Amino acid sequence: MVIASAPGKVILFGEHAVVYGKPAIAMAIDKRIYVETNFAELTAPKSSIYDDKYIKQSINIVLKKADEMGIDCDRKIDIKIKNELPIRSGLGSSGALSVALIKSLSSLLGLDLNKEDIAKMGWEVERNVQGFSSGLDPFVSTYGGIIYYKDGHFQRLNIDDTRLNFLIIHSGENSSTKEMVKKVARLKTQFPKIVSKIFDSIEEITEEAVSIFKSSICDEERLGHLMSINQGLLESLGVSTPKLSSLFYESLKSGALGAKITGSGGGGCLISLYPSEIDTFTNQGFVSNESLIRTSIYKGLKYKGLKNGVKIEDLSRISDSWFTNQGL
């Protein structure tokens, strides 16, 4: 038996543009997906909670790798999953699931995969399921932390003694990455020069954010302004919704330095940046809007503790009651 886990993520800058070779900045979050794999004589009942396509593709790619390495596996695999992430929300649940499953199953089979192998295999899973993928989600879930990503290459952004105070708010609407990427692709086909300039502007915002992250003192106010500008460009691409737009303005009224969609849009989550000196939101008045409090997923999400990417879990601290059977 092997249990592995991988974190979800938020995209701070660059979604959609990253699909077309532009850079993006993403951050792991402190909510994870846990996957237990074990050999089984009989398969467990299937569940419809998760998209089986990601599970099956992850299994197939690991078995293919095992075959290439001369390791035979003709036994049935029992899979159990615990998910702390809301699905179809822009928080990278599919990427985290694939990465955690690849790590768990490959370790069960005795494959010695490094993080680069796992990230690239997770990327292949997304391409096989979606037909396209920037690769951002599986790389963040594999390596953790805050990363600058472009075309399968990444750079970790080390932020020392800086607290990034985020509120992640769920719109209550499901998000489909595949449909949103198709929607932007159609817009780009219709207005190629205009959309390309929008992507260029998103790239400039991302690069400006990198310079802030790399500076000795993180200018949170400037970072917040960049997030809001990025949101405006995402609005122009048509990937926001009335609910997300409303939450954006409510966040600013509640004291946020900036806010934007995280992920593909069309639903899912909004991420707002608040001043770092605020330790909690509700008892110091910075989020007085009750709708934000009710729909928030994580209050006061800090960078500290988010550096862990995919990892093998200590079996002694995990009980069977955590998991949902996913026999295949």
Query: What is the set of active-site residues?
Result: 137
Amino acid found at 269: C
Q: How far apart are the first and last CA of the chain?
A: 16
Euclidean distance between CA atoms 122 and 270, whole angstroms: 25
E-state strands within the chain: 2-13, 24-40, 76-83, 146-150, 153-156, 165-170, 258-262, 269-274, 296-301, 311-312, 324-325
Euclidean distance between CA atoms 306 and 230, whole angstroms: 23
Neighbours of 50 (CB within 10 A): 19
| Among 104, 113, 2, CA closest to 55 | 104
Name every residue whose Cβ is closer than 8 Å to that of residue 151 and which is 6 or more positions away in sequence.
Answer: 21
DSSP annotation of 305: T
CA distance to 10, 120, 256, 272, 310, per residue, from 112 (Å): 29, 15, 45, 39, 14
- Bridge pairing between strands 269-274 and 165-170: antiparallel
Q: How far is CA 68 from the centre of its chain?
A: 30
E-state strands within 145-189: 146-150, 153-156, 165-170
